[in-house]
Structure 1
């Protein structure tokens, strides 16, 4: 068994521009490139050329229709890194069914949290069917029962189904493509509805503007296919550009991060992406193996999914320089599921650009004032940001203040976006959709940033939303989890993020405490920390505060901004010593990103 080729010797390279995903696969199937799947030991397990994927997808489409599913119905599919997931996802495209990728990982919170998470997604998608691997049958069956999802089949059971004789009617240019669940809210998940036009526009921008794909490119990914960066960046986009992709499961990467680099070395991979923490993990685990690697082919080392950390990139480049890794390959970018995936890319021909600003002006005046050389000698007085490039062709990004006025160079404000890659809204959730859309058609991304010479710089999340290890976490989820613990009740918890010494978000939870016994107070603190970790997948500092000390708005809503300000100024004081914030385990951080 040999992996698929780097390139097609005869088939002309076409970088997107197809009307639909099926049109893209029909074309890619005429060549010899495709997907390759590696085991946790680095062995090639499955080879799936695009021509074989197309045949499997067509057969799977007919099998799905034989279950009685009707055009436009939603089919949830557990996104394990396997040919089975690919066959079902693309089978849905040919059958006119809407695939909804679901997470495979159960690491965070165990069975109960996983079942609850999947049930919420199935319910909000109104999924008619869910397709899954054998090892999750009991969990998914329970989730399907809670969500009233009628059809539950393993990949093997679906493969054994007869093929319907009904004529296939693939999705057309004006149809939907899939529903993507973002890494945000878990208590009330929102499905991002992506159309064929949106995925076509975004993959074209990724292939042509962002990555500037060539005939010699070969991609590598350990990113979960449930996430937009894994699905769009390293499944749909490569297919639309006839690019070969080598896969390692996310779990295998977590256990052996150096295997990522070893396989890239062996396969002469040219493109791979990771959140900053993935580069950090790989650099810390590589040890002496770096000298045995050859990473000279790696031309695009993309960073996305979380705040780009310059110190992590520098450390990775330094440790992997002996393997021929060139730091110029680092490609910061910016995007989100609501924009299908990509919004901006840094220039591939230039090294990473870092803007170091005066921390005082940044925090008080909301301006990114360049730090003087003298000021840079005092690290605590400056803040460095990585520049994330320009918008892809046909897309617009603007920065506005809270009053809706457009801002200029180095003025920090809210980042808004519009263009053909924009989602069609949150599935059957008009209220949530309207909440982030402006009257002139822009989407409020929830991020803050500023312009620097025509390029975007991301400074953090706007207001309440927490960015942690590449995930968007709604504070409501954390508060809801904490308030399930006796004797807490609704309105007794406030969650927010504060900037830690390393520039990352540390999660803080303020909790009303009505008990006086020291042992009981410490027990409450531990219970809250445990349930937050189980539910939201984050470690947090739990601060016990006096009853009625959390601020509320005039309409009776919790003011998280007020709670954060009170905590930072000391106006809201802890009534017991602050528990030390636990250090995240590498595996916990990685699982949290899923």
Structure 2
């Protein structure tokens, strides 16, 4: 009996769709126009088998294989090759990714890989990060074609890969995901986002080592037999029009990005570029992995509505690596619902529509995607009624098995009991069910609690980012410990056109605005130069890194105010 895995599904589609394109990588590193490299389903299957055969000469099924490849079709080959060999893949990144050497060293020490899969140009760099006595190097672009053979048959609950979290809220931890987990979530995603074999294509610039990037770029295409078009994240950041052009060129496009990317694209794509875009065939644009802002959705739709973009394709989603990725999503064919809640009552734990005073407008993240979802009092471990803020708990086949080599942390998060049933995941995220839909309000650990009052950091960040002196999507609000209790700090970047001489006035105005709108006195407000606020690998602001660097004094020599 053959256990279904992403690798066996690849073999299935290679048989059915052999000469059709499976993966397209648009390479902007060597061409301003994006040189397209293609692999058909049969070519991808052959290359995956070649990597798997070489891997089995050097490692035993169940051992770890780290994927240290740049964003490319070679990454897909390496990841699926590890799975076909029965190894546990560890999707990481090439050592030349700026600013991530420390994280790469820590993750490699934690997962202790038997193999490091990379490409020929990166062999020497990868060798500097691994112990040659423990880890063998394989260049996936050099392995010879393999003869036909039998492949290891894993159990559905055997590990498929370790998904290391981005570190946006804590030190990186490896989530253990089985073949059952990833197939369940990929199918949930395909159903939720309208994937249809032969009619839809995924388009992604998200890093393939990121949870959403991997499911969108590899897992979902293997499940649905869809072609995938991939770009490098740097290519998007250099020119977001490249992403829009890829969407335009891909019939039935399904894509995803964090909230900031939609605002960034709307502000950076020129009118001339828009004139070449045809976006009426886009099926789903997934917005998740950070709070979804109504203003960003409106900005993006205003910018690209003239290109045929249907407002109903915007799909606000909620997810996390511990649940493979996808947990909930808004309904297809309808714009995401937005509700303005009374800000003070929301901070106190009650979701009450605003009667005209200070409010927080939240975008619905819809309904659970083929899994169970509850909002819970984490101390009492009891489900809360609709309209009450609590911790989001999830249960389903997509929920991972725990954290790699960390049973203590696993026991605190996975396999919890609720309402007489086990297997619940405590997400660490706060949310509320309102009229049956999920609204995410923040993370438990990110709450800023000053003088007994709760403040959601994103509310503070949105307030300061409205000021023209502040660069959009650059603020991080967090709490620091003082002798008399917690205090609030905001770190942000100045707008590129702002003269440093005007920072003092801007600082004073921002402090006054936060005090007026939130009843919160900032202990410190730090202006940095553009690009200086720490971000995760997918481009989100990392509050935890900001807080750690602030407490370490790392901003002292770089602050402008």
TM-score, normalized by the shorter chain, greater than 0.5:
yes
Rate the CA distance shift 1:218–1:452 in 2: closer, same or farther, 3 A: same
Kindly state the Cα deviation for residue 188 of structure 1 after the two structures are TM-superposed.
4.7
Matched, 1:249 2:232: yes
Q: 1:502 aligns with which of 435, 441, 462?
A: 462
Question: Which position in structure 1 is the counterpart of 2:434?
Answer: 452
Q: 2:243 aligns with which of 260, 265, 283?
A: 260
Kindly state the Cα deviation for residue 569 of structure 1 after the two structures are TM-superposed.
6.4
Kindly state the Cα deviation for residue 199 of structure 1 after the two structures are TM-superposed.
1.1
SS state of the match for residue 236, structure 1? Answer: helix
Q: 2:304 aligns with which of 320, 330, 347?
A: 320
Name the structure with the higher strand share. Answer: 2
Question: Which position in structure 2 is the counterpart of 1:54?
Answer: 45
Superposition pairs for residues 175-186 of structure 1, below 5 Å? 175-184=158-167
Rate the CA distance shift 1:26–1:154 in 2: closer, same or farther, 3 A: closer
Mapped partners of 2:304, 2:264: distance in 1: 13
Rate the CA distance shift 1:345–1:105 in 2: closer, same or farther, 3 A: farther
Q: 2:205 aligns with which of 222, 236, 244?
A: 222
SS state of the match for residue 203, structure 2? Answer: strand
Rate the CA distance shift 1:397–1:129 in 2: closer, same or farther, 3 A: same
Question: Which position in structure 2 is the counterpart of 1:339?
Answer: 323
Matched, 1:25 2:10: yes
More deviation, 37-46/189-198 = 37-46
Rate the CA distance shift 1:333–1:280 in 2: closer, same or farther, 3 A: same
Rate the CA distance shift 1:385–1:187 in 2: closer, same or farther, 3 A: closer
Kindly state the Cα deviation for residue 396 of structure 1 after the two structures are TM-superposed.
0.7
Question: Which position in structure 1 is the counterpart of 2:547?
Answer: none
Question: Which position in structure 1 is the counterpart of 2:223?
Answer: 240
Kindly state the Cα deviation for residue 268 of structure 1 after the two structures are TM-superposed.
3.3
Identify the structure with bigger relative contact order (alpha carbons < 8 Å, sequence gap 6+).
Answer: 1
Mapped partners of 2:362, 2:224: distance in 1: 32
Superposition pairs for residues 195-594 of structure 1, below 5 Å? 195-213=178-196, 215-288=198-271, 289-364=273-348, 366-372=349-355, 374-375=356-357, 381-393=358-370, 395-401=371-377, 402-437=379-414, 438-439=416-417, 440-464=422-446, 499-502=459-462, 506-508=476-478, 510=480, 578=524, 580-582=526-528, 584-585=530-531, 591=537, 593=539
The question of whether the paired residues in 2 share the 8 Å contact of 1:361 and 1:369 is answered with: yes
Q: 2:65 aligns with which of 69, 75, 80?
A: 75
RMSD: 3.2
Mapped partners of 1:25, 1:499: distance in 2: 44
Mapped partners of 2:221, 2:458: distance in 1: 38
Q: Which runs of 5+ in 1 are unaligned?
A: 1-16, 376-380, 467-495, 514-524, 531-566
Rate the CA distance shift 1:399–1:591 in 2: closer, same or farther, 3 A: closer
SS state of the match for residue 130, structure 2? Answer: helix
Mapped partners of 2:447, 2:462: distance in 1: 19
Question: Which position in structure 1 is the counterpart of 2:140?
Answer: 155
Aligned positions, number: 479
Rate the CA distance shift 1:430–1:568 in 2: closer, same or farther, 3 A: farther
Rate the CA distance shift 1:185–1:128 in 2: closer, same or farther, 3 A: farther
The question of whether the paired residues in 2 share the 8 Å contact of 1:210 and 1:392 is answered with: no
Kindly state the Cα deviation for residue 529 of structure 1 after the two structures are TM-superposed.
11
Rate the CA distance shift 1:353–1:529 in 2: closer, same or farther, 3 A: closer
Kindly state the Cα deviation for residue 148 of structure 1 after the two structures are TM-superposed.
6.6
Mapped partners of 1:230, 1:260: distance in 2: 14
SS state of the match for residue 421, structure 1? Answer: coil
SS state of the match for residue 143, structure 1? Answer: coil
Normalising by structure 2, what TM-score?
A: 0.78
Kindly state the Cα deviation for residue 42 of structure 1 after the two structures are TM-superposed.
3.6
